[in-house]
Chain A
Amino acid sequence: MDSISIIGMVSIIVSGFTIAIGSMGPAFGEARALAQALSAIAQQPDESGTLTRTLFVGLAMVESTAIYCFVVALILIFANPFWDFVIKQVGG
């Protein structure tokens, strides 16, 4: 197999694994945070404003790890530097 197809294959497989594994952890974390916030709102409905605000900010912070994985996966598929390098080598 030449290097172009190896790089293409490895990039696509690894980007799939990146987004699959990288979204598992934040999904668990966000589910736990949401469950805790729901039970807290059920116990103290008066504080739902503060709880909701803290929940949104916290969820966005938890979610940012998944977003990093997503950005890495996108770079691997759409803007892969190694792929560009090999294409330039072959072309030039």
Chain B
Amino acid sequence: MEFNPDNIIYWQWDFVKINATLIYSWAVILLLWISSWLITRNLTSGPGLSRWQNLLESIVSIIQDQIREASQQEPQKYLSFIGTLFLFIVFSNIITIIPGTSAPTASLSTTAALAACVFVAVPVFGIVTRGVKGYLMQYVKPTPFMLPFNIIGELSRTMALAIRLFGNIMSGTLVVAILLSLAPLFFPVIMQVLGLLIGFIQAYVFAILALVYIASATRVHGENNNQDTTGSFKQSI
């Protein structure tokens, strides 16, 4: 039984491998890119909106509203990063309903790469908003004694972000695979419907957590920006 799409290899030359993770990540990227290019090719602001433009505008405004509510800041700065993360993860998770495909997020490589993007984005947004000194000062905020714990917290939440998404999506795939061998007629469909819901919720959770981490690094005012992630999470929601 193969539950890791890294091990499904389509083409190999020496150490260069093209596996299912790569193929379907690029499929999702091309799908998002080409469809948004086709839709935004002829935008109008008149009365005759095409239905695809309506769809895209509502998606963008929903994401903007969520960012505004969750971070209590203007969404425009975060829209491109958080929206890209959310849309890519959603489409990666629900691509499994097409028979024969496998979700790229069921591989730890993809989710670790996405979490590494968040890990890099937090200091980048923080330094852009608060300056190098202001950003680095928050590591020694309560006392300098807390410095190692803050650094460990930064690393472990990145790891948790990667493993949470990987474990949820991979377990969904695995449960469907096991049920296919036990009760192949009807039950896998129910589990796949549940998998759609879980894939959507996990993409939402990933995006919201990334936003919360970034927002807690960029919050200038307020005295409480030295709390741990759950504290700042409660504060910002």
Give A contacts to B, CB under 8 Å: 50, 53-54, 56-57, 60-61, 63-64, 67-68, 70-71, 74, 78
Contacts and interface: CB of A to CB of B under 8 A. Distances in A.
Interface residues of B, number: 22
A54 B201 contact: no
A67 B209 contact: no
B53 interface: no
A50 B163 contact: no
A74 B66 CA distance: 35
Contact of B202 (A60, A71, A78): A60
B201 A68 contact: no
Contact of A53 (B160, B167, B237): B237
A55 B177 CA distance: 29
B68 interface: no
B204 interface: yes
13 contacts: A53-B66, A53-B69, A53-B70, A53-B208, A56-B201, A56-B204, A61-B164, A61-B205, A63-B164, A64-B160, A68-B163, A74-B170, A74-B174
Contacts of B230: 61
Nearest to B201: A56
A26 to B, nearest CB: 12
A54 B237 contact: yes
A60 B163 contact: no
Given A50-B237, A54-B237, A60 B171 contact: no
A43 to B, nearest CB: 18
B191 to A, nearest CB: 15
Contacts of B208: 53, 57
A60 B205 contact: yes
A67 B164 contact: yes
Contacts of A64: 160, 163-164, 167
A71 B209 contact: no
Given A53-B66, A61-B164, 14 more contacts: A53-B208, A56-B201, A57-B204, A57-B205, A57-B208, A60-B164, A61-B205, A63-B164, A63-B168, A64-B164, A70-B171, A71-B166, A71-B167, A74-B170
